[in-house]
Amino acid sequence: MLPKGRRQTAHLVTEARKPRSEDIAYRERRYLIMMGFRVGCFLLTIILFASGAGWLAAIPAVGAIVIPYIAVVFANGGREPTSTRGFRAYEPNLPERYSGPGHGVPASPPDPGQPGDGG
């Protein structure tokens, strides 16, 4: 008799997910790298603007504005499913189409001398 809550199937170690702490550390590291890139864009914008580059300074400025949004979306993404084993496509289990009595069978003329033959 198995204790309550125990599964009867064994799972392979290769099917185990990464620990949650490792996943959070990865997302934090990715966020910090993107924020570092943002600071670089911001500094490049200041340097280009100060040197009189004009509209060329707008390119890293746009990066400095857009990168925080992208970084937050990636950081809040959470754990992604590692396999699609739990997801199945919808397959409706419908019965065969009802065609009614006599449908689908070729009609044969009534035998002579039978009622309903008109003779």
* Strands of the chain, DSSP E: none
Average pLDDT value for the chain: 78
Model pTM score: 0.53
Q: What pLDDT sits at residue 92?
A: 75
Asked whether residue 32 carries a pLDDT value surpassing 80, the answer given is yes
Question: In this model, does residue 9 exceed pLDDT 70?
Answer: no
Least confident span in 5-19, 36-50, 89-103, 104-118: 104-118
Torsion, CA 94, CA 99, CA 105, CA 109, rounded to 10: 180
DSSP symbols for 11-29: --GGGPPPPHHHHHHHHHH
Long-range own/partner contacts, residues 57-62 (CB < 8 A, 24 or more apart) = none
